[in-house]
Amino acid sequence: MDRVIAAAILASTVGIALTRPVVFRSHRIDHMGAAVIGVILTLATGLVSLKDVAIALTFLAHPVATIVSLMVITIIAHRTGLFLNLARKIVEISDGSCKKLFFYLFFAGIATESLFTNDAVVVGPPKISPL
């Protein structure tokens, strides 16, 4: 029975996240709101205990903080014009050559990817922790 309840909560949480229903006439439930509703439902039904939630939050605190930090750094880089200036410089030094443009764009993509991506955090080496 727990599996049926868990599946129903998962389906409803995903459904809310995808449809973003309007509540209180003008407010839409966003992805975070849907996740919070899912957590409340799993706690209310007893599928997950508060201790389990605390363990999960402790386990995920560092990766989430790193992802948020990378997002902030990327926003700052965008707002200061780093990407626009990089694109302009690439066009300038490629001097009308499609091959040079491709080459510079390719390596600029590698450089910016290595600095501003969260893949290393998400896919990085797992931490082994007793749950």
Tens of pLDDT along 55-110?
988 888 888 888 888 889 889 989 999 999 999 999 999 999 999 999 999 999 88
Every domain of the chain and the residues it spans: 1-48, 50-125
Measured CA to CA, the distance from residue 42 to residue 46 in angstroms comes to 6
Indicate whether 127 pLDDT > 60. no
The token pair that represents 61 in the structure block: 């605190």
Is the pLDDT assigned to residue 26 strictly greater than 60?
yes
| 47, 20, 36, 40: CA torsion to nearest 10 | -40
